[in-house]
Structures are given as C-alpha cells and as structure tokens.
Structure 1
C-alpha cells in the first residue's frame, strides 16, 4: 500500500479537560498519513486517480477545530472519520499534538496517535 503524509497541520481549537483550555483555546498540530493505491496516479499524472491532499488537509483542519472535546482521543477519532470519508483511502493514521498541554512537569507537549482501516 502506498502513502501520502501531511505534516504539521496547525489548528486553533478549544479542546481539553480544564475550563480555561476550553474557554481560551490553544494551538494543536496534526499529522496525517493515508494509505491508498497510488499506482494509477503514478502512471496517469491525473488528480482523479489519487486523493486531493489539499481537500484532505481542509477536512482535517475542520474536524480538528470542531467540538470542543475533552480528550485528544476524541479529536483524533473525528479526524479519522473525516479522512476515511475519502473513498480512495484504505487506512489512515492521525497524530494530534497538543504543544501546550497543562502537565505537572516541563514537557514539549503531548500527542495521541490513532490508526484505523476502512471497514469492508
């Protein structure tokens, strides 16, 4: 299976457990990898033989900005639903990064990664 990866999609959203996170919002960064057959596109050089990654990026940003949700797991699940809505995508992996997570120790953030395969 072939892959397309979108790196570092930046979104401002209001996700989190704490009321201040949900009220003020904060940045989230999303990485998405989609698995699909790219053999026809490699030969034809035709966008209709692949998935339009600009459209995927817009769908990812819209799903990530939705909610608000308490858990990163929920955010990642909504993004996966959006990505798997593209008929050519056989499987997808989504990582949602929360760079300013309220942690009790110094850290660069936290992330959650989910992977799903399209149901037959």
Structure 2
C-alpha cells in the first residue's frame, strides 16, 4: 500500500452562497491524498501501474471550476469522480480551503475535509 499526495493546489474560482462570491471569485487551496497499492509501479516503473498524479490534479481543477454553494459539495464531487474513474484507489481524503473567506473578521482560511474508502 502507498499514498500519493497533492498539496497546495491553488485555484481561483467562484464558490459560495453569496451572489458576490459568484461574481468576484476567490482563491482556494486543495490538498488531496489517495491510497493505492503502489507495489507494482514501484517495481515496473510504468505509469499504467500507478495512479497518475497529473490525472488527479486535472480532476481537482475541473471539479473546482464547477460552481457550488458549499465546499462540501465540491469536495464530494472530487472524491466521487476519483472513485468512479480510478479503480486502484482504495482511500481518498480531500481538503478544500477558501482563502480569506468573507466572514467579517481576520480569518486566513476556512477548510473542510472529506474522505471516502472503497
């Protein structure tokens, strides 16, 4: 078993419940960890024997581009898609963070964490 981590994927997009958030947009950070059996790829040195992190990054960017009111919703879409398209993945955890959220205070970011297991 092994893990692949994509850390600090930065995306500018328009999530949020407020109309202004949909118009103005904000910066987001996404961290993704997946678990899979990486023993074959460790020996073969072949991309088809692993979970391609370029693919994982693309899933995050594509799902983050679809507007959601809630961070939970976009995180769930990311996890669902990874599990539908990557049979090697046995566990995945995603953290979606909104940087400088409009809370009326000095808050660096707000984050949600969702995980899924096969």
TM-score interval (norm. to shorter): over 0.9
Classify the secondary structure of the residue corresponding to 1:90: strand
Residues 1:14 and 2:14 are matched in the alignment: yes
Q: What does residue 44 of structure 1 align with?
A: 44
Q: What does residue 80 of structure 2 align with?
A: 81
Runs of 4+ in 1 over 2 A off after TM superposition: none
Q: What does residue 103 of structure 1 align with?
A: 103
Contact 1:32 1:92 in 2 (8 A): yes
Classify the secondary structure of the residue corresponding to 2:31: strand
Residue 13 of structure 1 deviates from its aligned partner by 1.3
Contact 1:13 1:65 in 2 (8 A): yes
Contact 1:60 1:83 in 2 (8 A): no
Classify the secondary structure of the residue corresponding to 1:98: strand
Q: Quick one: distance in 1 between partners of 2:61 and 2:54?
A: 11
Classify the secondary structure of the residue corresponding to 1:41: helix
Classify the secondary structure of the residue corresponding to 2:22: helix
Q: Quick one: distance in 2 between partners of 1:114 and 1:92?
A: 8
Residue 44 of structure 1 deviates from its aligned partner by 0.9
Residue 104 of structure 1 deviates from its aligned partner by 2.8
Provide the aligned length of Structure 1 versus Structure 2. 117
Q: Quick one: distance in 1 between partners of 2:80 and 2:27?
A: 21
* Structure 1 portions without partners, runs of 5+: none
Give the TM-score taking structure 2 as reference length: 0.94
Q: Supply the RMSD in Å over aligned alpha carbons.
A: 1.0
Structure 1, residues 26-53: CA drift from partner, whole Å, max 9, x if none? 1111110001000111111111110111
